[in-house]
Amino acid sequence: MTSSTSRAPVAAEGTRARLIDAALDLFTHCGFAGTSLQMIADQLHVTKAAVYHHFKTRDEILAAVIRPAVEDVKNLIAEASAQRTPTARAERMLTGWVDLALRHRALIGLLQTDPAVKPHLKEEQNASILLDQPRDLLASHLSGPGRQVCAQVALLGIVGAASTPELRELDDETLRDLLLDVGRKILGLRRPRSS
């Protein structure tokens, strides 16, 4: 069996990526519990066997939907940690965090609104664990008892605002700039010369 059908003759990797996109879309609109492998197949005009070639269960698809976001957070933590100065670490973390919040807002919206998803998350996908290091990095250059509070407000406020439906009327570039502005205001960071 191959992953392509006569109706959708694409390479296996392309099908896999499209399956993940279609699954997130269906999870968002029909709920995780209300989405079947057949619905995902129908959405892409492929056979259920074509879906089954890539994913045996809905849980496997959910894991594949979440994995890129978790990897992005880990990569950003590594990248921000490697900066030389505390201010550069905070600035890199903030810029990257805004980008991830926007890139993954459909997934974040799903995690925030669909109660059926949470029981299927693995320990490494636990939101509070994924937030600990970003919070510390955002507070790199700050001191005093308020440093963790500022960083947490920025972290959660940005994630929440990026996935707020009412704010989607702003185009992505505008929303990105506004989120960066408010993040810098909270953290007392200046806009760097080369951004």
Residues binding a copy of itself (CB under 8 A): 115-119, 128, 132, 135, 145-146, 148-150, 152-161, 164-167, 170, 174-175, 178-179, 181-183, 185-186
Give dist(CA 46, CA 39) in Å, integer.
Answer: 10
> What's the closest the beta carbon of residue 89 comes to a copy of itself, in angstroms?
19
Asked whether 69 and 99 are in contact (CB, 8 A), the reply is: no
Asked whether 138 and 91 are in contact (CB, 8 A), the reply is: no
Give dist(CA 65, CA 110) in Å, integer.
Answer: 11
The nearer residue to a copy of itself, 9 or 146, going by C-beta atoms, is: 146
> What's the closest the beta carbon of residue 155 comes to a copy of itself, in angstroms?
8
**42 residue type, one letter:** D
The nearer residue to a copy of itself, 89 or 135, going by C-beta atoms, is: 135
> What's the closest the beta carbon of residue 77 comes to a copy of itself, in angstroms?
17
The nearer residue to a copy of itself, 74 or 118, going by C-beta atoms, is: 118
> What's the closest the beta carbon of residue 14 comes to a copy of itself, in angstroms?
33
The nearer residue to a copy of itself, 128 or 195, going by C-beta atoms, is: 128
With a CB cutoff of 8 Å and minimum separation 6, the contacts of 55 are 19, 37, 61, 64
Residue 139 has which token pair? Answer: 């507070």
